[in-house]
Amino acid sequence: MTAPALTTSARHEAPRPGRRDVLVTAVGAVVIAVLSTVLLWFRLGPTTRGLAWAEDSGKFLNERLQLGAVPTLLHPYEGYLHLVPRVVVDLAVQFFPIESYAVVVGGMSCAVVGLVGAAVFVLARGTVRRLPLRVLLALVPAITPLVPVEIAGNTANLHWFLLFLAPWVFLYKPRSWWSSAVLTVIALAITLTEIQAAVFLPLFLRHVRSLRSVPPVVAGVLGAGAQVLTTLLFPRTEPVLPAPRQIGGPLDLLAGFSSQTVAGSWDATVKNVGIAVEAHGWWVVAVPAVLVYAVLVLAVVRATRGERWVLVALGAAPLVVWFAAFTVNTVVSNWLTLPTLPPYRYAAAGSMFLVAATVVAADAFTARRGVVLPVLGWFLVLVVVAAAVLNLQPQTRRDFATVPAWSTQVQDFRPACVEDPGGVAKIRAAPGQPKWDALVPCRLVIAG
């Protein structure tokens, strides 16, 4: 006689972790953090690792050198706060020679992604039941094909990884006041870095009756409120074009979403995807996109209540990120007439959510009885792993930059700085536009 199945709520909340579970989770989190950091660092490649990227140089470093450490932490940039990137840049300036700035910032940014993966591994324990799949889920920020192209290895795009962590933070029900305190700090760091994290705050409603769940949500609301206030007091300086003239229409955006976010989850070289579209028609990306979301809908139908919350959040997030980004930002994109456009960072961010949703769906399917759904679940796992292996080290935007390595430029400026210690060295960053040049005092160049 078989034992009665647990109810949905009991299965999600119980049993409380024993010592062995706590040890496995702790060791697993450390392994995930290290593995993700090292893997992502490898995926960037030597050229990318040696160059600073955009705001890392022209904004965050310049403002750190001009204003100092504490004043820059909550210093607004283009209408938003960027707490975690500012902290990384400050640590790089404070404890490392300026010659190694690009490498240090890249390495520390990879380490932050590793910590995000470790946090997801811990927080997903009550949702993803199979340990191998929870490990795969935690590795998603490091293995998603599009991630190294632009958003990995720099602080300018760390906010996307914190956005990926947000739903897991607000879905998690703390079992102790210690875990509540840790989540509160994390929630504040996320929302003071990424304003879009506010869209995940309603996930708190799943465990609204838990008193220990209140502090993280309060921190999230305060952080999001600070972002809104910053936007109102220090609005963006870049003009925003009217949406219809800027991006065409909803069909055009869906075409871009299918060819970049969905197809990019399999092939990081989205230009090849565009070439396939030109050769065979839009069906080559439209059909996979429909199938992916059909599978996610099926997973929502067959999943437990706790899994449904996660699947809906992760499945909707890519669309929200994509449509919001092209509505707010001044980006002219017409995929229906030019499908071979280069990859956008918004696609990489959405792709992480889409790959994560696929892993959660796989966990839901493999837990079902029968043959069809478990086979479908393991097939989804195979697809995710295969995409990661086939895109282990894609070309990045910094690979095409024409500027010399950061350390080489510092070394070249050193003789001139020795002659004029009060001078300033102009160090260039990828992608090479003058607005991203760093103005480094010669005293730092001389010091190394």
H or E element that contains 288: helix 283-302
DSSP-derived secondary structure letter, 155 = G
Within a domain: 9 = no
Q: How far is 341 from 160, CA to CA, in rounded Å?
A: 21
Q: CB–CB of 398/21 below 8 Å?
A: no
Which of 333-370 are b and which e, b meaning 16 or more Cβ less than 10 Å from the residue's Cβ?
bebbeebebebbbbbbbbbbbbbbbbbbbbbbbbbeee
Nearest CA-CA partner of 355 in 266, 418, 244, 431? 266
Q: CB–CB of 162/116 below 8 Å?
A: yes
Kindly report the three-state secondary structure assignment for every residue of 376-434: HHHHHHHHHHHHHHHCCCCCCHHHHCCCCCHHHHHHHHHHHHHHCCCCEEEECCECCCH
Residue 16's pLDDT band, with cuts at 50, 70 and 90, is: low
Counting the structural domains of the chain, the total is: 1
pLDDT greater than 60 at residue 3: no
Where do runs of H (alpha helix) occur along 172-269? 177-191, 214-233, 243-247, 250-256
pLDDT tens per residue across span 118-177: 999 999 998 998 999 999 999 999 999 999 999 999 999 999 999 999 999 999 999 899
Q: Please, which residues have CB within 8 angstroms of residue 333's CB and are 6 or more apart in sequence?
A: 247, 248, 252, 256, 326, 341, 344
> Six-digit token pair at 33?
């953090």
Within a domain: 191 = yes
> Six-digit token pair at 169?
């933070």
Q: Please, which residues have CB within 8 angstroms of residue 64's CB and are 6 or more apart in sequence?
A: 72, 86, 89, 90, 93
Residue 369's pLDDT band, with cuts at 50, 70 and 90, is: confident
Q: Which amino acid is at 1?
A: M
Give the pLDDT score at 1: 41
Within a domain: 65 = yes
Give the pLDDT score at 5: 41
Q: Which amino acid is at 367?
A: A
Count of Cβ atoms closer than 10 Å to residue 300 Cβ: 18
Query: Mean pLDDT: which of 215-229, 301-315, 320-334 is highest?
Result: 215-229
> Six-digit token pair at 3?
């034992």
Within a domain: 446 = no
> Six-digit token pair at 51?
């160059």
pLDDT average, residue stretch 325-351? 82
Q: Please, which residues have CB within 8 angstroms of residue 107's CB and are 6 or more apart in sequence?
A: 37, 41, 49
pLDDT greater than 70 at residue 74: yes
DSSP-derived secondary structure letter, 257 = I
- Residue 77 has phi, psi (to 5 degrees) of -140, 120
Q: What percent of the chain has pLDDT over 90?
A: 77
Chain mean pLDDT for the chain: 90
pLDDT average, residue stretch 406-423? 95
**Containing structural domain, residue 358:** 18-400
Give the pLDDT score at 332: 59
Give the pLDDT score at 20: 79
Distances (CA, A) of 42 to 35, 140, 201, 411: 11, 15, 34, 25
Within a domain: 231 = yes
Nearest CA-CA partner of 114 in 34, 194, 25, 182? 34
Within a domain: 410 = no
Distance from first CA to last CA of the chain, Å, rounded? Answer: 73
Within a domain: 336 = yes
Alpha-carbon dihedral sign for residues 226, 330, 393, 128: positive
Within a domain: 419 = no
pLDDT tens per residue across span 220-273: 999 999 999 999 999 887 654 444 444 467 888 899 999 999 999 999 999 899
